[in-house]
Chain A
Amino acid sequence: MDYTQKVIDAFKSPKNMGEISDADAVGKVGNPVCGDLMWLYLKIRRNRDGRDYIYDVKAKTFGCVAAIATSSVMTELIKGKTIDEAEKIKKDDIIKVLGGLPEQKVHCSLLAIEALEDAIRKWKLENKKNIELNKKNKRAN
């Protein structure tokens, strides 16, 4: 497979691998039948401007070289970003950082994007629930 040195480097020493035990959101995507699986852990905090941002990120990936390399790059791209910014990251942004991917491996980069989407979607859902809960609590008071 014709991987760039950047892909090999990211694969060899992937960043932010592991779990966050008290994560605010966990994205779980993939399928062992297809041969890739990714769990993405996000710790989200609010910055001084009142915006929610990704304070910490960890990932666990089962998959090929491209899946692991793109997982690593994605975690690096989103760390410190606000949720709005993170949502704008596309697979092409990851591929660009890696200096390209072999054509048949481009789809592997979707794994990381889908994990991110899943985590953010779950976090928003949870967040909405909490807001409603807070409102209810206020009313009750």
Chain B
Amino acid sequence: MKAYLDNGATTMVDPDVVEVMMPYFSIKYGNAGSLHGLGKDAGDAVRKARATIAEAINADPDEIIFTSGGTESDNIALKEAAFANQGKGNHIITTKIEHPAVLETCRFLETMGFSVTYLDVDKEGFVDVEAFRRALRPETILASVMHANNEIGTIEPISEIGSICREKGIIFHTDAVQSFTKVPIDTKAMNIDLMSLSAHKIHGPKGTGALFVRKGTKLGTLMHGGGQEKRLRSGTENVPGIVGFAKAVEIAAKSHEHIARMTGLRDRLGSGLLAIPGSSLNGAEPESGKRLCNNINVSFKYVEGEAMLVHLDLAGVAVSTGSACSQKSLKPSHVLLAIGMARKDSHGTLRLTLSRFTTEEEVDYTVEALKGIVEKLREMSPLNKETIKGYDDIDLKKRGR
């Protein structure tokens, strides 16, 4: 038995998506910018794809810029909005739980003379709209708040933040990589100016994404060259990727049934895991309706995440962890720290993310496997039933190494 519960990292490309992409590699391989028939075929395909994606977010087709993915979209959005509008001010507002593509770009902008406010979140990961309002300054030009968090699945109040930004004339960017096709997005109703999207999180191909740019949003150019994508992002269009991206959106938009199914499986997984002693859920309560339909993030006391992950992998189950020991930096997840988790508890955290292909069997198998693994690891851990009491009093002195 195998179970893939790491769809927050990437998803299987839908076979129907692969099928529509194939002709654009070796049959309809033209450059979308060429004037001949092959080029026209490619150009038409890109145009059609743009319209499909625009429709899914209530935008106009010429507000969609194709990119290489979420990271590039975040980079273009933040850097180019910041540089193009620095005449108006130098202040940017974001949150402590953004994806590194946003956080690291903000840190870079700080070195370029911008001032960035990183908003706190509460213990469920929500940004406080009033705190956002208080962070505003006369020189605020840009705000970036993610739609849904990639680690804990919390869905942020971006409509409220969008309307504040609109009222104050601030450019509002949201990273919707995790939420796209899972939570309804209406760029007009939500007052979004810039939005990052990615194909490979929704059963499309890797290396393809998009940036929504509301008409009239002042942006500079990151990639100079042949002037593709309204001169914002030069480079020959990745036609197979774009076609696949649109097909993935089309399939997801066609049926809302899969969201209800995923929600049901998520809750089945959540209650199964939370029945394991010493476990707790991180992020928004599932009943709140403010948690991604495919995300469960659970901490298990007295066991370490990487050890659980590798045992699960050996059992055929793929998940991810927020444990410091799994990171090259050996730092715990910034999201877990931002929701106020103690470092010693952050080590035993797993993220399990479903897709519309996830089955009940996969969920049940994972719960059973993890039960045994947690038990086994706790058995060999000095932090067992008898010593748990001492856990909270353990000397917090760092070992000198």
Q: What interface size band does chain B fall in?
A: 20 to 34
- Tell me the smallest distance from the CB of B321 to a CB of chain A, in Å: 10
B38-46, B73-81, B303-311 - interface stretch? B303-311
Q: Is A60 touching B380 in the complex (CB atoms < 8 A)?
A: yes
- Given known contacts A8-B314, A62-B382, A63-B325, is B303 in contact with A33 (CB within 8 Å)? no
Q: Is B173 an interface residue (CB 8 A)?
A: no
Q: Is B134 an interface residue (CB 8 A)?
A: no
Q: Is B307 touching A63 in the complex (CB atoms < 8 A)?
A: yes
Q: Which residues of B contact A (CB under 8 A)?
A: 302-307, 310-311, 314, 323-326, 328, 330, 343-344, 347, 377, 379-384, 391, 394-399, 401
Tell me how many residues of A have a C-beta within 8 Å of chain B: 34
Beyond known contacts A12-B311, A61-B381, A65-B306: 14 more, CB 8 A cutoff = A28-B382, A31-B394, A31-B395, A31-B396, A33-B344, A34-B398, A35-B304, A35-B323, A35-B324, A35-B347, A36-B325, A37-B394, A61-B380, A110-B401
Q: Is A39 touching B324 in the complex (CB atoms < 8 A)?
A: no
- Tell me the smallest distance from the CB of A55 to a CB of chain B, in Å: 21
- Tell me the smallest distance from the CB of B303 to a CB of chain A, in Å: 7
25 contacts between A and B (CB under 8 A): A8-B314, A11-B307, A12-B314, A31-B399, A32-B344, A32-B347, A32-B391, A33-B344, A33-B398, A35-B325, A37-B394, A38-B382, A61-B380, A62-B303, A62-B377, A62-B381, A63-B304, A64-B306, A65-B307, A66-B325, A67-B307, A68-B307, A104-B330, A107-B401, A114-B399
CA distance A29 to B251 in the complex (A): 54
**Residues in chain A near residue B383, CB distance under 8 A:** 32, 37, 62
Q: Is A14 an interface residue (CB 8 A)?
A: yes
CA distance A127 to B180 in the complex (A): 67
Interface hits, A7-59 → B, CB 8 Å: 8, 11-12, 14, 17-18, 28-39
**Residues in chain A near residue B399, CB distance under 8 A:** 29-31, 34, 114
CA distance A26 to B383 in the complex (A): 15
Interface 1/0 per residue, A105-126 and B, CB below 8 Å: 0011010001000000000000
Beta-carbon nearest neighbor of B303 in chain A: A62
Beta-carbon nearest neighbor of A28 in chain B: B382
Q: Is A140 an interface residue (CB 8 A)?
A: no
Most chain A CB within 10 A, of B307, B330, B395, is at B307
- Given known contacts A8-B314, A31-B399, A32-B347, is B382 in contact with A37 (CB within 8 Å)? yes
